[in-house]
Chain A
């Protein structure tokens, strides 16, 4: 007997209809072939507002399969509102197993962090990007930024970094520090802290970026040069946590969140919640290493 399975579910697998998934998939292949280039895509309507992680969600839902183990973090935390709701949504629409364990996940969606543990070549990480256009802070018109990317005309970007240095004595851009991908495109790595930015360089993992509100997606394949913009004499630096430590574990070599207690006391805690759990339970972890983290010898860790 032929069973009609089409109407037994209220929604298509992974919510998005197949035609739109295919469109996103075609664009993803192009994005991967041109690292750092923003590809316009359909950005279909989702049951959450644009700007709340729809871009990441579109990509996740276009690539996810039944066998995937899904993890989602928001500012490093598995437990924040955005992450919890999107996790429930993805789980409800696909029936995929979800996890908090970074090492177990095959598909990770993230808002504003890369996991503290190094990701492998078996994993894909998807970023929710609010503002994909790194040149927007120097050029307000879209048609002009498109032209600038087309001509690799990034002089204005460097001038703005220079001006920041002249005014403030440092390049003030904190999260979402602009990077040069494969020596061709300047890309916004989504507002990840500087701490995470060097981890994009020559990584094992495929990085996919989705900006739902701006209708752009882009990618950084594994083993791609991703260099933070800097000058010969003014270099990129990561956050310095040498004078602070996680109040739960005493650990220093991780991105720390600053928190205030009700008494106004200032404390620091590891931002990546799964990493914090593993450190608290003294489990083995495999962290990213890069020249910036390795420089921090005084940590003695």
Chain B
């Protein structure tokens, strides 16, 4: 395996980080990574890979909760020099589509003095949209960064994962931040500061 040749570790990274920052600062806002010629292994979509590229390096760690973990770990190691860690120490946790949140209760939520010392989830979904899509959850967000209420529709995300997130974020500022990505390179974020509800749309 070799490093991605078409990925610029200075400028692409910066551009993608700005999209992440924008989505994190405005929960529910959908941003789209520009199309890139990268070939992540099965079980890791492009947007999740690019999120990993933008944030991971040798100083941090991640955990893969999905399938094909060995290939993905090799891919992230080659491209970011980051090492996989166990779920209770990892700073970033990659989740596959429809992950039910099981096993994630061990993920770090920070300490009262250092609440930022917590894990960030990078969860994959089928499709993120501003409009209703088939078999989607309509997520309504409220809190810092949102003017009134924000609405986003996601298919391929498990309600159990959102329940897990709610439970972990009850003791704000302790908690977990979530980045959701889809197959069309879209992403949106649910930081722990935001309260949310969801309903099945059909």
From 43 to 60 in chain B, residues with beta carbon under 8 angstroms from any chain A beta carbon are 54-60
From 144 to 160 in chain B, residues with beta carbon under 8 angstroms from any chain A beta carbon are 144-147
| A-chain residues with CB within 8 Å of residue B191 when the two chains form the complex | 32-34
User: In the complex the two chains form, is B144's CB within 8 Å of A35's CB?
Assistant: yes
A66 within 8 A of B: yes
A23 within 8 A of B: yes
Q: A131 CA to B59 CA in the complex, in Å?
A: 28
Q: A29 CA to B177 CA in the complex, in Å?
A: 9
Shortest C-beta distance, B148 to chain A (Å), equals: 8
User: In the complex the two chains form, is B112's CB within 8 Å of A65's CB?
Assistant: no
Closest residue of chain B to A149 (Cβ to Cβ) is B113
A88 within 8 A of B: no
B100 within 8 A of A: no
From 123 to 166 in chain B, residues with beta carbon under 8 angstroms from any chain A beta carbon are 143-147
User: In the complex the two chains form, is B144's CB within 8 Å of A26's CB?
Assistant: no
| A-chain residues with CB within 8 Å of residue B24 when the two chains form the complex | 29, 32-33, 221
In this complex, the member of A37, A185, A225 whose beta carbon has the largest number of chain B beta carbons within 10 angstroms is A37
* Interface, chain A (partner B; CB < 8 A): 12-14, 18-19, 21-23, 25-35, 37, 39-40, 63-66, 121, 146-147, 149-151, 182, 184-185, 202, 206, 219-225
Shortest C-beta distance, A16 to chain B (Å), equals: 11
User: In the complex the two chains form, is B172's CB within 8 Å of A184's CB?
Assistant: yes
* Interface, chain B (partner A; CB < 8 A): 9-11, 13-15, 17-18, 20-22, 24-26, 54-60, 91, 111-116, 118, 120, 143-147, 172-173, 177, 191-193
Q: A64 CA to B14 CA in the complex, in Å?
A: 7
Shortest C-beta distance, B194 to chain A (Å), equals: 9
Q: A241 CA to B138 CA in the complex, in Å?
A: 49
Q: Is the interface of B mostly helix, strand, loop or mixed?
A: loop
Q: Is the interface of A mostly helix, strand, loop or mixed?
A: mixed
User: In the complex the two chains form, is B15's CB within 8 Å of A65's CB?
Assistant: yes
| B-chain residues with CB within 8 Å of residue A26 when the two chains form the complex | 55, 60, 91
A34-B145 in contact given A12-B10, A25-B54, A221-B25 (Cβ < 8 Å):
no
Kindly count the residue-residue contacts between A and B in the assembled complex, taking CB atoms under 8 Å apart. 110
In this complex, the member of B13, B118, B145 whose beta carbon has the largest number of chain A beta carbons within 10 angstroms is B145
Closest residue of chain A to B150 (Cβ to Cβ) is A223
A66-B11 in contact given A33-B191, A151-B112 (Cβ < 8 Å):
yes
Shortest C-beta distance, A113 to chain B (Å), equals: 22
| B-chain residues with CB within 8 Å of residue A150 when the two chains form the complex | 111-113
| A-chain residues with CB within 8 Å of residue B14 when the two chains form the complex | 14, 21, 63-65
Q: Determine which of B11, B18, B60, B115 lies in contact with A34 in the assembled complex, contact meaning CB atoms within 8 Å.
A: B115
User: In the complex the two chains form, is B177's CB within 8 Å of A30's CB?
Assistant: yes
Q: Top 10 A-B pairs ranked by shortest CB distance?
A: A33-B191, A150-B112, A30-B116, A221-B145, A224-B144, A221-B25, A206-B25, A223-B147, A33-B177, A150-B113
Q: Determine which of A22, A28, A34 lies in contact with B57 in the assembled complex, contact meaning CB atoms within 8 Å.
A: A22
Shortest C-beta distance, A214 to chain B (Å), equals: 15
User: In the complex the two chains form, is A39's CB within 8 Å of B116's CB?
Assistant: yes
User: In the complex the two chains form, is B18's CB within 8 Å of A27's CB?
Assistant: no
Q: Determine which of B11, B111, B116, B147 lies in contact with A13 in the assembled complex, contact meaning CB atoms within 8 Å.
A: B11
A65-B18 in contact given A29-B177, A31-B116 (Cβ < 8 Å):
yes
User: In the complex the two chains form, is A34's CB within 8 Å of B120's CB?
Assistant: no
Q: List 14 A-B contacts (CB under 8 A).
A: A12-B10, A13-B11, A22-B56, A22-B57, A28-B21, A32-B191, A34-B191, A39-B116, A63-B18, A64-B14, A150-B113, A185-B173, A221-B24, A223-B144
User: In the complex the two chains form, is A29's CB within 8 Å of B58's CB?
Assistant: no
